[in-house]
Structure 1
C-alpha cells in the first residue's frame, strides 16, 4: 500500500506480475485505487484483459467512440490492444479496484461473465466478495512460486464469482459452457463407475451442473437413448455376463448390478430378453445379447 500526497492519487495499492500469455489463465496485476478529483488516466495498449469495478464515487470511461458515465458497482472491460481512458468525477471521485489477466481461457471466461468486444460495461452485485479477493491478493505481494499459485487461484475465484453472478441473472434454459458431448462423456463415466448403486438422473444432472431435461436431450442426440435407458442397458449387459460366467444365484446378481429387489431385476430382464434370468442361464451359454443393449 502506498500513500503519497504529492501524487495524483490519494491511495493506491497494486501488484504487477510478469506476462503469462501462454498459460491457460494467469494474473498479470491487480490493485485498488482512490483517485483525486478529476484524476485522468489513459493507459497504453496492452496484450491483456483489464477489468475495473467501481467501489465508490463516479467517473467517465471513453473507449473507441463510446463514452460511459459510470458509478458504484459498475464494471468495465478494456480488451487487449484497445485504447481507453477514464476520468474521476471532480465532485465525487471514484474508488475502484482492477485486475489484469491473460491466457488461453481468458476470453472464454469473460464471455461467460457477460463481457465482450461489444459488451464493455455491466453491473456487478458481488462487489464485496470481489473486493475481499483483491485485498487478499495484495496481502501476498512477494514473488515466490507459492504466492504466485495462491494469487492465480484467487484470480480464478474472482472470475468465477463474476461468471456465477451473471449466469444466475441471465442464464437461459439449455445454455451451458460445454458441448453436449462433454456432458454425456462425464455422465457415461459416472454411470459406468456407479451402475451397481442407486442412481437418480436428476441428481446426476445436478452434479454435472445442468438440468435433467438437457441431460436427457444430450443422451438422446449423442447415444439414441435416455440416461436411464443407458443405465438399464449397462446393468443388463453386466447381468448377462455374470449369468454366463459365474454360479452366483439370481438374487445376488440382481444386487451386484444395482437392483435391491430381485423381482424387479427379473421383470426388467425378461422384458429385455423375453426370458427369465434363471431360464436364460439354463438355456444356452451362447444366448445372444441384443445389439441395442450393448453399451458403447
Structure 2
C-alpha cells in the first residue's frame, strides 16, 4: 500500500508532441510493490527518501535517495519498497509522441532507465507548484506543460551516473525471453500457449519455470500487464473504450469491461471519471511536502 497525492490532467487534443500528463508523490508502506507493468507513456520517478528495489529488463537495482527510474512502454518494470526503510518518491508522467525521443537525446529511456540526481529539492518544488494549476483551464494547462518541460530541463542539469554502480544481474534467460515476448505481443490477445509457441518451448516447462522464478503464473502476469496498461490509457488518454480494449489485447469491449470490473471492482468508465483530477489520500497531504523541504 502507498499513500499518494497526485494530479492527473484530462488529456488535451491540442497538444500531441510533449505535454504534462500526471504528477504526484507517494509515501509507501513496507514492501509495497507495483507491477510488473508496462506504462502507456513515460513516467519518471525520483526517490526522496528511504529505499527500494527496481526490476527492469534483466537487472535488479537497489535505489535510495536521489536515485531515479523511468517506467515506459518498452520493458515491463516492477518495483518494491524496502521492508525496514520504505521509500518516498515523486513522479511526473508525460503525454505526446515526442517524449521517447526527448529522453533518448538526454541519454535516458529504455537503454538507461536508472539514473541519479545530485539533488531533489528543485524537483520537489516543481511538483509542488503543479498542484497550483489544477483547474483544467487553458491557462493552467499551458502552465503545466511548461512545468513538464522544466522537469526535463532539471534532469539535464542534475543527472549523474552514480546509481549505475548499484546493479546486480538477477535474470533467468527463459523467463526474460518470455517477459520480452509479452511486452511486444500483449496487445495481440496472447495467452500462455502463444508465448510458449512463440519461444519454441513446451508450455508446461515454460509455465513451471516462470512460476519458479517470478512467483506468478504466466496467465496472471499477462493479465497484470494488460490491466495496468488499461489503467494508464483510461487515465492518460481520451481513447474510446473500444480502442483501449483493443490496445490491451482484449477481444471485445464486453470482455474488457467484465475483466476490468472483476479486478478493480469498478467499471472502466467509472475509473476514468474518478481518476481524472487531483487526489489526496487521507494519510498524506501537503504537510508532507513541508516536512520534506525542511530536511
TM-score normalised to structure 1 length: 0.50
Residue 12 of structure 1, aligned match among 1, 4, 22: 4
Q: Which residue of the partner structure matches residue 161 of structure 1?
A: 154
**CA deviation vs aligned residue, 1:212-255 (integer Å, no higher than 9, x gap):** xxxxxxxxxxxxxxxxxxxxxxxxxxxxxxxxxxxxxxxxxxxx
Q: What's the counterpart of residue 60 of structure 2?
A: 67
Superposed CA RMSD: 2.4
Aligned to 2:99: 106
In structure 1, how many angstroms separate the alpha carbons of the residues matched to 2:59 and 2:40? Answer: 21
**Is residue 49–residue 79 contact of structure 1 (8 Å, CA) maintained in 2?**
yes
- 1:62–1:68: 8 Å Cα contact kept in structure 2? yes
2:226 corresponds to: none
8 Å contact from structure 1 (residues 113, 159) kept in 2: no
Q: Aligned pair in 2 of structure 1 residues 114, 20: CA closer, same or farther (>3 Å)?
A: farther
Distance 2:32 2:38 in 1: 19
Q: Does 1:128 align with 2:121?
A: yes
Deviation for aligned residue 1:43: 6.4
Which sections of structure 1, spanning at least 5 residues, go unmatched? Answer: 1-7, 170-296
Change (3 A) 1:15 1:81: farther
Q: For 1:72 and 1:46, how far apart are their aligned partners in 2?
A: 23
Secondary structure at the aligned position of 1:42 is classed as strand
Aligned equivalent of 1:143: 136
- Following TM superposition, the consecutive aligned residue runs of length 4 or more in structure 1 with deviations greater than 3 angstroms are 18-22
In structure 1, the residue matched to 2:34 is 41
Which whole-Å CA distance do the structure 2 matches of 1:20 and 1:76 have between them? Answer: 26
- TM-score (normalizing by structure 2): 0.50
Match of 2:17 among 15, 24, 30: 24
Contact 1:57–1:92 (Cα < 8 Å) also in 2: yes
Q: Greater relative contact order: 1 or 2 (C-alpha under 8 angstroms, separation 6 or more)? A: 2
1:102-151 deviations in whole A, cap 9, x for unaligned? Answer: 32321232124331321111111141101100111123222222111111
CA contact (8 A) 1:114 1:122 kept: no
Consecutive unaligned residues of structure 2, counting only runs of 5 or more, are: 163-295
Bigger mean CA deviation after superposition, 19-28 or 113-122 = 19-28
Residue 212 of structure 2 is matched in structure 1 by: none
- Residues 75, 110 of structure 2: 8 Å contact kept: no
Answer with 1 or 2: which has the greater Rg. Answer: 1
